[in-house]
Amino acid sequence: MRSGTLYVMANPATLARLHREILSCTRCVTAGYLGAAVPVLSGHADNRIMLVGQAPGAVEAVERLPFQGRSRKVLMAWLERAGFASEEQVRRRVYMTSITKCFPGKGVGGGDRRPSRAEVDLCRPHIDRQLALIMPDLVIAVGGLAHERFLPGRPLDHLVGRVFTISGEEVSSRTHARPLLVPLPHPSGASRWLNAPENRILLDRALRRLRPIVRGLLDGQLAGA
């Protein structure tokens, strides 16, 4: 992870090689968890913000880009409230990946199946290498699997609306510590967490706290910092 305030861009050739390795991965197929491997990710070497989701959905598996399904509009609306000018800016300035890289298929109840612990473990080296190479200043963790990766054992209402260091210490959004970690709920309509007014207040607080961090990073990035 990055230390201090000096920004060092990831090596584009090294990142391209990592992407090729991830996109050709068949570990979960070999282990019998998936019938086919269709890894999904997007990002650039100069990204200073990383969004980590749970796993791609069925639409993402076809489009081969993160957040293309029903949750797309919700997430992009949140990120615009958090300081981004447009979806285009989000997709250019945010490295988008997930805890597991392939669509896990449908579950028993009809929704997307939650990847197993074994699948998460098989995919862990990929996310570890992405974090180590991009060295983001800000990690936005979306959904339960991402929360478990960075802030295990904490209920959602103790996460959303707060800012943490990557080691799990709660801090102010004005801190100079990097990278910062901001959890968000999953934007899927299948989640009922946001039906509660008190939880919508927590989401509003999270987006307000994200805004100065995002704007500072985008302004620095656009200025070539």
Instruction: Establish if 3 belongs to a structural domain.
Output: no
Here the tokens at position 165 are 């260091």
Instruction: Establish if 1 belongs to a structural domain.
Output: no
Instruction: Establish if 2 belongs to a structural domain.
Output: no
Q: Residues 49-89: pLDDT tens digits?
A: 999 999 999 999 999 999 998 889 999 999 999 999 999 99
Residue 5 identity? T
Instruction: Establish if 71 belongs to a structural domain.
Output: yes
Count of domains in the chain? 1
For the chain, percent of residues with pLDDT exceeding 70: 94
Tokens 């197993």 identify what position?
Answer: 116
Segments forming the whole domain that contains residue 216: 12-222
Instruction: Establish if 112 belongs to a structural domain.
Output: yes
Strand partners, 98: 53
The residue among 142 and 4 whose pLDDT is bigger is 142
Residue 181 has phi, psi (to 5 degrees) of: -125, 125
pLDDT above 80 for 113: yes
Here the tokens at position 116 are 């197993």
pTM for the model stands at 0.93
Instruction: Establish if 118 belongs to a structural domain.
Output: yes
Residue 131 has phi, psi (to 5 degrees) of: -60, -45
pLDDT above 80 for 208: yes
Residue 39, domain CATH: 3.40.470.10
In contact, 225 and 215? CB cutoff 8 Å: no
Cα 194 → chain centroid: 19
Instruction: Establish if 4 belongs to a structural domain.
Output: no
Sign, CA dihedral 23-118-35-29, equals positive
Instruction: Establish if 40 belongs to a structural domain.
Output: yes
Residue 96 identity? M
Section 95-107 average pLDDT: 95
In contact, 95 and 67? CB cutoff 8 Å: no
